[in-house]
Amino acid sequence: MRAISGLWRWRHNPLRRTTDLVEAWLALAAVLLVLVAAPVIGSLVGSAAQDTLQQSVRDQRQSRHEVAATVVRKLSRGPLDPDPETSSARDAQSRVLADWRAPDGTARHGTVIAALKSPRHGDHFTIWTDLHGRIVGRPLDSATATTHAVLAGFGAALMSAGLVEGGRRLIVWRMIRRRYARWDQAWNRAGPDWGRTGTGS
């Protein structure tokens, strides 16, 4: 609204400079870009991220398998974690030596993190593996992928709006510097005797 009122104010004003009109048009263009282009860019980026992440969800569901593992024995904790948030999250987990069978049928044995507070020999828990039984992370779920895509879209829209506003401010700053330089040149042409015309000095 300020841009539109600025254009209207300068429309027939005899004190209007070309730069005033350019600034008003620039502000109007920036407002339109922020209101139209930024949401479109955010929507496109969010949609592309959604497609990519959902494909990743499908790929991970095909390549990762949940299998049952059996505790052989509990292992000692690793080195102390200085981060209290991380260490409290690890309190509900334990490092154990375990046996499991890979989806391709091969027997596996190794150290894993079990979601057991106090594991004992023979306890069962689930882990995620690839087809050959190697430990992998839990596959990404669809809801989390959608959340990431929405955040990517919002981020792209905000970044676009920021770039438009930053570009507008940079152009206005350069115009003001040029205006000041012209004023300095005009003062230099007027000379040190400006304002003394006709005083006889």
For the stretch 56-66, pLDDT in tens is: 999 999 999 99
List, as one string, the DSSP characters of 111-151.
Answer: EEEES-SS--TT-EEEEEE-TTS-B-PPPPPHHHHHHHHHH
Indicate whether 39 pLDDT > 90.
yes
Higher pLDDT, residue 194 or 149: 149
Q: Considering only CA atoms, which of 132, 112, 130, 128 is closest in space to residue 71?
A: 112
Please list, in sequence order, all residues whose beta carbon lies within 8 angstroms of the beta carbon of residue 46, skipping any fewer than 6 positions away.
149, 150, 152, 153, 154, 156
* Residue 88 pLDDT greater than 60, yes or no: no
Q: Which residue type occupies 130?
A: D
Per-residue pLDDT averaged across 166-170, rounded? Answer: 93
pTM of the model: 0.65
Percent of the chain scoring above 70 in pLDDT: 79
State residue 36's pLDDT score: 94
